[in-house]
Amino acid sequence: MAVSPLARGLPPHLASSTTTDFTRPSSAQSNSKTNRFGERPRARVQPAQTPLGSGAARGIVRRPVAYYIGVELHSAIGYSAPHDMLAGRTAESHAGHDKSRNRREGGGASGHPRPRAYCFSQPGTARQPLAVALSNWTRELYWRIRPAASPAPPTWQPDPALLKVCRLEWPARYAWKPAAKWAEHVRIGLAGWVPVRRTAIEQDYAGIVMARLIVGGQAFEIAFDYSDYPVLNEACALRASVYFKMQCPSDGFPAWPNVHPGGFVPASSMIYRALPVLRGRRDRCDFRFDVYGRFGLDFGRDIRSKALTLLSAQSSFRFAGGPGRVRYSQYLHEIAHSKVCIDLPGRGDLCFRLIDYLAVGACIVAVRPRDTLHVPLEDGIQVAYVGPDLDELLSTCQHYIEHDAERERLCRNSREFFDRFLHRHQLAAYYLHKAFQCILTDASP
């Protein structure tokens, strides 16, 4: 007589009985086990998870089920995992879990990371929203009151003689209020080099901040183009003495000698006060996630949806992120606790996320952008590029998860790149250096 799957592993007098409620289909006892199995994995699937295809849906369900069967301890079988019990590894399982618990209690870099392969969004946010919010607020308050770290020595040195006779007039208000997200980084950086005064300046061009550099009493207009599109505003370029383009195509604008790549900026000035803490956490290698990436689907929907589908369907590493949004402080905290961070294009190929990654010193796997920073990133040095077809996305992530030395080398290089070229003090020095070059070129006979 065939033995019911529910009766496998039971004593013979129970397994062979046809009247035992434990093995009777649809009995209260068998239903309780079925319900418990369904309840546990279902509770681990965050409500915010939105599968972007059948593969993603299967991945979301498969990982918590695998955790329930192969990792979770069950009191009914002596606090062992079902997979270990059926394989006869109960003693080894107990020893391994005891060791893991001791390491967790010890904390630090040696703490055993909790299995979170099934997490599509930040663990715990759905269950403890108040606790997470309080933690974020406390973290932000601490970052706001601590001093920012001193910048590295300047990579560009603007002409000292011109600095002495130079001041900057900056618009008192922007034509588009959200422009402050880009422009305030530039203004604060420039204020570290020259006096900056806010005044009424007409803002005539969409996606561009116009300012005036006063050198020896003569005014020169400077344009800072923060538009997401790699298109030159020729009317503005004709008018401005120097024009900085943030989403600058890789081949630039050779017909316009006054147009230069404008680099890019982080998402918030808060990061400068947070960097000492974030970098300290990143250096401790206290990883909670193998691969991390948060991507809204408002822009770049096709490539971002494809990437999230691939990442959520695989079971080789722990992926955290998804299309959901979190507070900036939580997002930075998650970067610091991730082995690999993924960058994808949105409306523009360059975005705040990439600069945030570089600032913290993350191991970045990114789709190669068509636009360039004022100093180009090098593949395999500061970032690992994959093609827009994403065929190598998972294998590249897996490579840097497994090869610690290569991963940490990229992290050191990305952090150094930010300190030398993208910190707002460095970026302002670059702007002034290029502006003075243009001014002197125009003044020469």
| CATH 3.40.640.10, domain 270-424, yes or no | no
Specify the pLDDT at position 69: 66
Q: Following DSSP, what letter does each residue of 306-341 receive, concatenated?
A: HHHHHHHH--SS-EEEES----HHHHHHHHHTEEEE
- Once rounded to an integer, what is the mean pLDDT over residues 276-300? 94
DSSP 419: I
Specify the pLDDT at position 135: 79
Q: Which single residue is written with the structure tokens 């406390």?
A: 138
- Once rounded to an integer, what is the mean pLDDT over residues 239-262? 97
- On whether the CB atoms of residues 76 and 22 are closer than 8 A, the answer is no
Tell me the pLDDT tens digit for each residue of 96-136: 555 554 444 444 433 433 333 333 333 334 344 677 777 77
Confidence of residue 293 (pLDDT cuts 50, 70, 90): very high
Confidence check: pLDDT of 221 > 90: yes
Distance, CA of 385 to CA of 377 (rounded, Å): 10
Confidence check: pLDDT of 14 > 70: no
Specify the pLDDT at position 113: 39
- Once rounded to an integer, what is the mean pLDDT over residues 299-312? 94
Specify the pLDDT at position 145: 76
Q: CATH 3.40.50.2000 in the chain: give the residue spans.
A: 270-424
* pLDDT winner (highest mean) among 64-68, 88-92, 121-125, 407-411: 407-411
Element at 170 (helix H, strand E):
strand 166-171
- Once rounded to an integer, what is the mean pLDDT over residues 56-75? 66
Report the percentage of the chain scoring pLDDT > 70: 71
Nearest CA to 210 out of 248, 243, 253, 246 is that of 243
Can you read off the two tokens belonging to residue 222? 């400077």
Q: What is the mean pLDDT of the chain?
A: 82
Q: Which single residue is written with the structure tokens 């243009």?
A: 438
Confidence check: pLDDT of 388 > 70: yes
Confidence check: pLDDT of 28 > 50: no
Q: Which single residue is written with the structure tokens 């996606």?
A: 207
What predicted TM-score, i.e. pTM, was given to this entire model? 0.72
Distance, CA of 330 to CA of 378 (rounded, Å): 29
